[in-house]
Every structure is written in structure tokens, then in C-alpha cells.
Structure 1
């Protein structure tokens, strides 16, 4: 299973708000073996949201969109997703009924709060008010981190991929000096290799089979000057 994450908000692009949602979602999906192949931030514009969602839903198994939910003038994410899916926004009875069960009367709810793309499944907001939606592999979640995380927990089981195992080797050598051994590692083992320099060089190896990644890590450890080594799945 692969996925893309789209975060919506002018404040993200202006640097006024740090985008922690994308990082958190990527971590959660990776833990479930789902490969995240794109993360994109778009402004609060219907056309931009619709274009990106439409493109990504054709390429990936799931698209998770966060931010811009609610009835205010700049909350246009549902409009953009509806446009991408060729749907109209419509009052969603299940979303309205659930909020009423939580103690909100219709007069309490601003007009448009419970409008979702026609045919969507409502995702209830246990922390806030604005509901999310799921339709055709697109999942729309709130932008408020606490609300987004709580809502994701209700759909977590829908994201299932192939778990990967990872080993980390920290080399006390310049990255440029390691290139030949990394090339040999790739030739010898069918593992993904990432090299991340800093005060030392962190080399991460990944594979779906634990034995393969452990064998590759052992081979590399014998051929580099290691400062520190940590392994984890």
C-alpha cells in the first residue's frame, strides 16, 4: 500500500505554523508498512486542492488531506476534495446526527459544518466539531493536531502495508570515503540504503526480511569505522 499526504493552509506556506501533521502521519503510516511517496502543502484555494488530490488519488492507494475543515470563509478543503471527486457538497445526516448526540443542536452548528462530498463516509471528530470524510481512497482530516490524531486513530486499521525491518550503522568516516563500500553493499544485498551525514554518517538499511537487513548490516559493520551502532525494526 502506498499513500500521499496533503496539508492545506496558507499559514503553513507563510511559515507562521509548523507542519507537524505531515511528519506525524508519515510516521504512523510507516509503522504500518505503508509507503508514503509524496507530501505536499497547498494553499487555501479550491483549485489547488482539487488539482493535487485528483492527481494523487490516481497514483496512490490512499490520499490523506489535513486542514481547512469547518464553515469559515477559508475552510475550503471539502470544496476542493468534492471538486476532485466530481461530487457536490451535501448535508450529511450521519455527521449531523452524531453531533446532535454529542449535545449540539442544529442552531449551535454554523451552516455548512456538516456538508460533506456526496456519498462520503463521515469521520466523527471526538475532540472538536468539524467532521472529516472518507471517499474513494481520499481521507479528509482536521488540521488541528489533536483533532487530526484522534480522527486518524478511528481509521488506522484501514492502512495496511508490508512491514519493513531497519538497521542503522553510524560510521565515523566522511561520507565521500564510504561511497565505494555503499556501492558494494547495494550490489551484494537487495536492501534500501540511506546515508545521512552530520558529525558522523548515519547509514540506514531497510528490507522486508529481517534476516536480510541484519546480514547486510553485519557485512557493513565489518568494513567501516563505527562510532556507534543501533538496530531497530
Structure 2
């Protein structure tokens, strides 16, 4: 399963808010064996949201969009997703019913709170108010991290791929000095290799067979200097 993640918000692009949602989602998806092919941040503009969602839903099995939900003037994500899918935005009866079960009345809710793309499946917000939506492989989640995490957990079973296994080997050598052994481990074992320098070099070995990954890591550890 291949997924794209889209985060929405002018505050993200201005650096006023750190985009922890994308990092958390990528980690959760990776744990489920799902490949994240794109992480993109777009401003609070309907045209930008629609263009990116429309492009990615043609390329990926699913698109997860976070941020910009609610009734305020800059909460435009539902409009952008609806435009990408050629849908109108309309009041969603199930979302309203959930909110009423949570103790809200129509008079309590700002206009537009329960507006979703026509035909969407409403996703209940157990940690907040604004509902999410799922439609045609596009999942729209809140931007507030606690709300986003709770809502993703309610749909997590819809994201599954081939389990991957990872081993890390730490080497106390310069990255350039390790090139021959990195090439050798890639040739000998069916694993992907990532090399990340710092005070020491962290070499990550990833594959779909747990035993192969473990054997590759053992082979490499015997051939590098410990930090």
C-alpha cells in the first residue's frame, strides 16, 4: 500500500507551528508496512489543496490530509477536498447525530461545523468537535495532534501493507570509508540500506524477511569498527 500525506496550514509554512502530524503519521504507517511516497504541506487555499489531493489520489492508494477542519474562515480543507473530487460540501446527518450524542445542540455549533463533501463517510472526532471524512481513498483528519491521532486510530485497520523489519548497525568510521562494506551487504543480502552520518554513522538495514535482515546486520557488525 502506497500513501501520500498532505498537511494543511499557513502556520506550518511560516514555521510558527512544527509539523509533528506528518512525522507521527509516517511512523504509524511504516509500522503497518505502508509506504509513504510523499509528504506535502500546502497553504490554506482551496485551489492548492484541490490540486495536490487530485494529483496524489491518482498516484497513490490513499491520501491522508490533516489540518484546516472546522467552521472558521481559514478552515478550507473540506472545500479543497470536495473540489478535488468534484463534490459539493453539505451538512452531514451522521456527523450532526454524533455531535448531539456528545452533548452539542445545533445552536451550540458554528455554521459549517458538520459540513463534509457529499457522499463522504463521516469520521467521528472523539477528542474534539470537527468531524473528519473519508471518500474515494482520501481521508481528512483534524490538525490538532491529539484529535488527529485519535481519529487515525479509528481507521488504522484500513491501512496495511507488507511488514518490514529493521536493524541498525552503528559504526565508528567515516561514512566514506564504509562504502565498500555497504555495497557488499547490499549485494549479499536482499535488504535496503540507509546510511546516516553524525558523531558516528548509523546504518539502517530494512527488508521484508526478518531472518535476512538479522543476518545482514550480524554480517555488517563483524566488519565495521564500533564507535
- TM-score, with structure 1 as normaliser: 0.96
Residue 50 of structure 2: aligned partner: 50
Deviation of 1:190 (Å): 1.5
Residue 94 of structure 2: aligned partner: 94
- After superposition, residues 68-107 of structure 1 pair within 5 angstroms as 68-107=68-107
Q: Give distance in 2, aligned partners of 1:226 and 1:187.
A: 22
> What stretches of structure 1 move > 3 A for 4+ residues in a row?
none
Deviation of 1:215 (Å): 1.3
Deviation of 1:200 (Å): 0.3
Deviation of 1:226 (Å): 2.1
- After superposition, residues 124-139 of structure 1 pair within 5 angstroms as 124-139=124-139
SS of 1:116's equivalent in the other structure is strand
Deviation of 1:214 (Å): 1.1
Residue 19 of structure 1: aligned partner: 19
Deviation of 1:187 (Å): 1.5
Gaps of 5+ in 1: 228-233
- After superposition, residues 1-233 of structure 1 pair within 5 angstroms as 1-227=1-227
Q: Give distance in 2, aligned partners of 1:43 and 1:151.
A: 22
In the alignment of these two chains, the number of paired residues is 227
Q: Give distance in 2, aligned partners of 1:181 and 1:102.
A: 59
Q: Give distance in 2, aligned partners of 1:6 and 1:163.
A: 23
Q: Give distance in 1, aligned partners of 2:89 and 2:156.
A: 25
SS of 2:160's equivalent in the other structure is coil
Q: Give distance in 1, aligned partners of 2:217 and 2:146.
A: 38
C-alpha root-mean-square deviation of aligned residues, in Å? 0.8
Gaps of 5+ in 2: none
